[in-house]
């Protein structure tokens, strides 16, 4: 019996060992799972966890970017970033919000209650960072530093600055508070100019209390070099603004273009604005009229019909054309001239701006060919200039023309152009028939000065050299004997075309009888044009013809910038083959009388001493005095090199100039240089000496 009991006791399983084994297995699996999880977190989730830790322990705020420079063609700064100070707060460190806000508000030009509410809201949300004021000048920043407020900190931030104020505002554009370009070149080249932002990092403890901070510096952006000439831009803006005010016009546009390169030397719109504070002006003032103002060009567009007809051999400048006493009917529609003209040569018809002649030439060329030449000259599409917002203009396909459309298109109606398109078209004729795409950016440089981009504008042959030169001669007649006599220049030949267009009345959708656009497009000098200048005056009050309101502005701009660009005058008062040339100069009577007297005396002396002077000039390599044309305020400085002290003194006296002579002998150097504009009373400094 005992034996059976013993056997039964040995066969019973040990439950404690089983339980221990189960527990051990569970612990093993649990530890394995934790290990796998830890490995997973340390490998796949490492970056995410580190980021979360940094988020909890640090607060980072990006500072403004350091934008690159914008320079003119001579490396003069047009836009740069300057150092300012911005102030921020750690809200939890401010014990008395009302007191701090009351002391800060007058300096940062904020309402104390608004500032206090902002700081309290940040405290409630347990934020570690709150802006107080950004980009303050040194004076206001110094006042805040003097307060020595607890919980208020500072950091350096760049601010965009335009040292020339409103100069070239529509070209440069402006930036927002975050230093991102919002208009102009600042917007078009924003990615290149922008650079990389800096960063301020604030370290906090487990209770959210800051114990340190550090700042990573921003990386500056690239430098953009424009084709703009600051002096030319200034002269153009001043002339345009004066004209708009004088004519009480709605707006105005002026562009100066180098036809040989396509470079835009000046682009001005009026009204304008200061990019340092663009919010101070309305949106209308910030519109770039040169690219966005679509207008019917009127008679300036006649160059297309004339160019096409001459290029195709359908007409010559000397051909006579019957202008039918000022009226022509096209597809049942009667179109009149502004005067009743009879038989004229083509040159005379262009000079007098006959609509009948232009329409007849357009009809000879035909619809398809006319449309082709319009597109060749660049109408109906963007010029490609490096600014956003440019429009294509309006040029309908031939299939959408009416039977009478040629009666409108040939004289610049039923088509919409921009001032820049029109300037580029005249630039084609000035550049011997080759159209070079107008552009504003010359090159882009990296922060270390390396050139990373150079302009390479598109070139396209539009008409032959012979046709372009023929048109230039015909357009000169417009300024000499036609509708643009007020565009004649002192010292330079000029050519161009006036335009007077009626605006469409939005209410009646018919041509307005009171609202006009007066324009003039021209170039100078005629034989080798250095500049093309377009002036468009929108809705002038009173006189509205292009020859009245725009041609004089062309003259004012050209007479000031051509000497500044070192363009040699190509007309001279004493040698002028044109009868009555002196009579058309705009200068004061006293200066004109002195200039005439000097001319007569110099001519007499030259005739008497010509052999001796020629011999001396040959030995010394000097040039004789050459009198260039007078200007509205005085005269262009003559070349006095090679003259004696006595001769130079006499010339200066006759012109009302003060002479400061240094040395003896012949004039070697002079200031102002020959060709510079001088006013009566100005001091002329001349160095005299012996040349070996």
Sign for the CA dihedral angle at 429, 430, 431, 432 comes to positive
Buried b (16+ CB within 10 A) or exposed e, 72-111: bbeeeebbbbeebbbbbbbbbebeebeebbebbbebbebe
Does the pLDDT value for residue 657 go beyond 80? no
Tell me the pLDDT tens digit for each residue of 394-424. 999 999 999 999 999 999 999 999 999 999 9
Element (H, E) at 363: helix 355-365
pTM of the model: 0.71
Question: In the prediction, which pLDDT does 495 show?
Answer: 97
CB contact set of 266 (below 8 Å; sequence gap of 6+):
168, 228, 229, 232, 233, 235, 236, 237, 254, 255, 256, 561
Spatial distance between the Cα atoms of 369 and 299, rounded to a whole number of angstroms:
19
pLDDT at 669: 86
The pLDDT assigned to 539 comes to 94
pLDDT in tens, 32-85: 888 777 777 677 766 766 666 666 555 555 656 688 999 999 999 999 988 888
What pLDDT was estimated at residue 55? 61
* Helix (H) or strand (E) segment spanning residue 589: helix 589-620
172 Cβ contact list (under 8 Å, min separation 6): 70, 78, 79, 162, 184, 185, 186, 275
Q: Are 78 and 72 in contact (CB under 8 A)?
A: yes
Backbone angles phi, psi at 45, to 5 degrees: -105, 10
Asked: is 230-564 a CATH 3.40.710.10 domain? The reply is yes
Residues 242-268: tens digit of each pLDDT: 999 999 999 999 999 999 999 999 999
Q: Which CATH number fits domain 60-224: 3.90.1310.10, 2.60.120.10, 3.40.50.300, 3.40.109.10?
A: 3.90.1310.10
Query: 217: closest CA among 136, 142, 158?
Result: 158
pLDDT number for residue 632: 43
Contact 688, 664 (CB under 8 A): yes
Q: How large is the average pLDDT for residues 501-514?
A: 85
Report the chain's C-alpha Rg in angstroms.
38
Reduced to 3 states (helix: H, G, I; strand: E, B; else coil), residue 343 is: strand
Residue 333 has pLDDT above 50, yes or no: yes
Cβ pair 597, 635 in contact under 8 A: no
Q: Is the pLDDT of residue 684 over 90?
A: no
What is residue 429's predicted lDDT score, i.e. its pLDDT? Answer: 97
Report CA-CA distances (Å) from 90 to 151, 180, 200, 211, 215: 5, 27, 13, 11, 16
The secondary element (H helix, E strand) that includes residue 328 is strand 327-330
Sign of CA dihedral 180, 186, 190, 194: negative
Question: What ranges do the domains of the chain cover?
Answer: 60-224, 230-564, 585-689
- Region 529-557: what's the mean pLDDT? 96
φ/ψ (deg, to 5) at 282: -80, 170
Close Cβ partners of 282 (under 8 Å, ≥ 6 residues apart): none
Positions marked catalytic: 299
Average pLDDT for 534-542: 95
Q: What is the mean pLDDT of residues 585-589?
A: 42
The domain over range 585-689 is classified in CATH as 3.30.10.20: yes
Pairing of strands 343-345, 320-322: antiparallel
Per-residue model confidence as pLDDT tens digits over 170-213: 999 999 887 889 999 999 999 999 877 666 666 665 555 555 55
Q: Residue 453 burial by CB count (10 A; 0-12/13-18/19+): exposed, middle or buried?
A: middle
pLDDT attached to residue 573: 37
Predicted confidence (pLDDT) at residue 576 exceeds the cutoff of 50: no
Percent of the chain with pLDDT over 70: 81
- Bridge partner residues of 202 (DSSP): 59, 213
Q: What was the pLDDT predicted at 618? A: 35
């Amino acid at each position: 019996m005992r034996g059976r009991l013993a056997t039964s006791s040995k066969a019973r399983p040990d439950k404690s060992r089983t339980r221990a084994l189960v527990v051990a297995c569970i612990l093993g699996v649990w530890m394995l799972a934790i290990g796998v999880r830890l490995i997973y977190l340390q490998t796949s989730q490492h970056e995410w966890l580190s980021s979360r830790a940094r988020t909890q322990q640090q607060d980072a705020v990006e500072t403004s970017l350091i934008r690159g420079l914008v320079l003119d063609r001579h490396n003069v700064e047009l836009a740069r970033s300057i150092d300012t100070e911005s102030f921020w707060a750690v809200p939890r460190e401010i014990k008395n919000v009302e007191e701090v806000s009351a002391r800060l508000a007058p300096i940062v030009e904020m309402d104390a209650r608004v500032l206090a509410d902002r700081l309290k809201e940040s405290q409630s949300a347990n934020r570690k960072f709150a802006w107080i004021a950004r980009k303050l000048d040194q004076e206001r920043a110094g006042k805040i530093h003097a307060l020595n407020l607890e919980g208020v900190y500072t950091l350096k931030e760049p601010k965009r600055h335009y040292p020339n104020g409103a100069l070239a505002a529509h070209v440069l554009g402006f930036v927002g508070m975050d230093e991102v370009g919002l208009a102009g070149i600042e917007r078009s080249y924003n990615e290149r100019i922008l650079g990389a932002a800096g960063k301020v990092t604030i370290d906090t403890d487990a209770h959210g209390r800051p114990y340190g901070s550090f700042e990573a510096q921003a990386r500056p952006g690239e430098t953009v070099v424009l084709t703009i000439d600051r002096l030319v831009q200034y002269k153009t803006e001043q002339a345009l603004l004066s004209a708009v005010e004088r004519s009480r016009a709605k707006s105005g546009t002026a562009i100066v273009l180098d036809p040989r390169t396509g470079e835009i030397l000046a682009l001005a719109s009026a009204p304008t604005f200061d990019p340092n504070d663009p919010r101070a002006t309305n949106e209308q003032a910030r519109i770039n009229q040169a690219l966005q103002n679509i207008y019917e060009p009127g008679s300036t567009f006649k160059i297309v019909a004339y160019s096409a007809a001459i290029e195709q051999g359908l007409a010559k400048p000397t051909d006579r054309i019957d202008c039918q006493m000022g009226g022509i009917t096209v597809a049942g529609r009667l179109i009149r001239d502004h005067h009743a003209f009879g038989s004229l040569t083509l040159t005379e018809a262009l000079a007098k701006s006959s609509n009948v002649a232009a329409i007849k030439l357009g009809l000879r060329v035909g619809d398809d060919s006319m449309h082709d030449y319009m597109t060749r000259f660049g109408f109906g599409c963007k010029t490609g200039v490096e600014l956003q917002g440019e429009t294509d203009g309006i040029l309908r396909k031939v299939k959408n023309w009416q039977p009478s459309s040629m009666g409108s298109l040939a004289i610049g109606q039923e088509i919409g152009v921009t001032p820049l398109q029109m300037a580029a078209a005249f630039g084609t004729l000035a550049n011997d028939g080759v159209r070079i795409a107008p552009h504003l950016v010359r090159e882009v440089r990296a922060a270390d000065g390396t050139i990373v981009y150079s302009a390479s504008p598109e070139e396209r042959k539009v008409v032959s050299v012979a046709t372009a030169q023929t048109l230039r001669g015909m357009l000169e007649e417009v300024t000499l004997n036609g509708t643009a006599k007020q565009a004649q220049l002192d010292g330079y030949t000029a050519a161009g075309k006036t335009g007077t267009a009626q605006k469409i009345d939005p209410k009646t959708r018919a041509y307005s009888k009171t609202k006009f656009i007066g324009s003039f497009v021209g170039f100078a000098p005629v034989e080798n044009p250095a500049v093309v200048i377009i002036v468009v005056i929108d809705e002038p009050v009173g006189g509205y013809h292009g020859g009245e309101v725009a041609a004089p502005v062309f003259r004012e701009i050209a007479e000031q910038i051509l000497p500044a660009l070192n363009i040699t005058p190509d007309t001279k008062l004493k040698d002028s083959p044109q009868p009555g040339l002196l009579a058309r100069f705009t200068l004061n009577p006293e200066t004109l009388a002195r200039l005439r007297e000097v001319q007569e005396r110099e001519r007499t002396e030259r005739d008497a001493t010509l052999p001796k002077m020629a011999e001396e000039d040959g030995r010394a390599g000097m040039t004789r005095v050459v009198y260039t044309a007078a200007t509205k305020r005085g005269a262009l400085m003559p070349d006095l090199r090679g003259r004696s002290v006595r001769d130079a003194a006499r010339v200066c006296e006759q012109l009302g100039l003060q002479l400061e002579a240094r040395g003896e002998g012949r004039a070697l150097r002079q200031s102002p240089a020959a060709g510079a504009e001088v006013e009566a009373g100005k001091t002329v400094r001349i160095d005299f000496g012996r040349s070996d």
